Amino acid sequence: MSLHDLLKDKLPQEKLSLVPKGFEVIGNIAIINIPPALDDEKYLIAQTLASRRKDVKTVLGKLHKIDGDARAGEFELLLGNSTVTLHRENNCVFCVDVAKTYFSGKMAHERNRIVQKVNDDEDVLVLFAGVGPFLIPIKKAKIVNITGLDSNPAACTFLRKNCELNGIDANIVLGDANSMYNLFKKPFDRIVMPAPYGRDYFLNIVSSSLKPRGIVHLYTFKKDFEIPHFKRLLEERGWHIEFYRNCGDVAPRVSRYVFDLRKYN
């Protein structure tokens, strides 16, 4: 039964219609965006959600959208006592503190797609590496030299822990992507770039750290009508678009897109 159905006899119709249709589960934590009009019912909703999902031990109410380079969201603890959890996907395990680091379980399929694209013996850089959702499955499946860069100290701490949990080695750098020129002396075959909202300009920065015919996997947030213009801009700047797709909605009319780009000049 859906959350809406479970609450049918507990809420009046005018409030029932405001109940969110979905929520995200990371490990044993559920994250739900409850509108202000349901503030008096938020604990009932959290308890009902947990009764539906026996794997959920903690329910967090989203207070503010994820913002800033650290990309940590603000949440209200509605049920449970911890924001730290273990999340499993693609034969990997990730220790995550959702209040201090960014993680989205909705990207599991896309992360596995990138793993299949990587070739052995590549030098790979993951920008905005977070707790390792791209880096760790790549290193676990392929024989590569891989580096993760993030400006969030908490993310780097969890990334190191997750490398240990998954039995892999990686070069982890706490630093600002704006300083890539100084951080890395050798170019990369492939750069994975799950950039925060509004950070497309980093594509200009990574270009100089890419080997000839190297690949960038760029993640960007766009409305559907913006895509044709964005594609033209990429091509005008010398990028060849090998593949792109919509990776799912993140806000009304706004979706996350991935572009697989190759630079020829």
Backbone angles phi, psi at 14, to 5 degrees: -65, -30
Residue-level pLDDT at 48: 95
Residue-level pLDDT at 221: 96
CA distance 15 to 179: 49
Which residue, among 62, 18, 69, 88, has the nearest Cα to 198 in the 3D structure?
Answer: 69
- In the predicted model, residues of the chain with pLDDT beneath 50 are 70
Query: pTM to 2 decimals?
Result: 0.91
Which residue ranges make up each domain of the chain? 3-82, 107-263
Residue-level pLDDT at 159: 98
Residue-level pLDDT at 171: 97
CA distance 91 to 74: 29
Task: Enter the DSSP assignment of 195.
Answer: P
Judged on CB neighbours under 10 Å (0-12, 13-18, 19+), 36 is exposed
Residue-level pLDDT at 185: 87
Backbone angles phi, psi at 77, to 5 degrees: -75, 110
Q: For 3-82, CATH number?
A: 3.30.300.110
Residue-level pLDDT at 228: 97
Residue-level pLDDT at 2: 87
Which residue, among 4, 152, 19, 163, has the nearest Cα to 73 in the 3D structure?
Answer: 152
Which class is 107-263 in CATH?
alpha beta
Residue-level pLDDT at 122: 98
pLDDT digits (tens, 9 = 90+) for 100-129: 999 988 899 999 999 999 999 999 999 999
> Please, what is the average pLDDT of the chain?
93
Could you check whether 3-82 and 107-263 share the same CATH topology? no
Residue-level pLDDT at 264: 77
**190-224 residues labelled b (16+ CB within 10 A) or e (exposed):** bbbbbbbbebbebbebbbebbeeebbbbbbbbbee
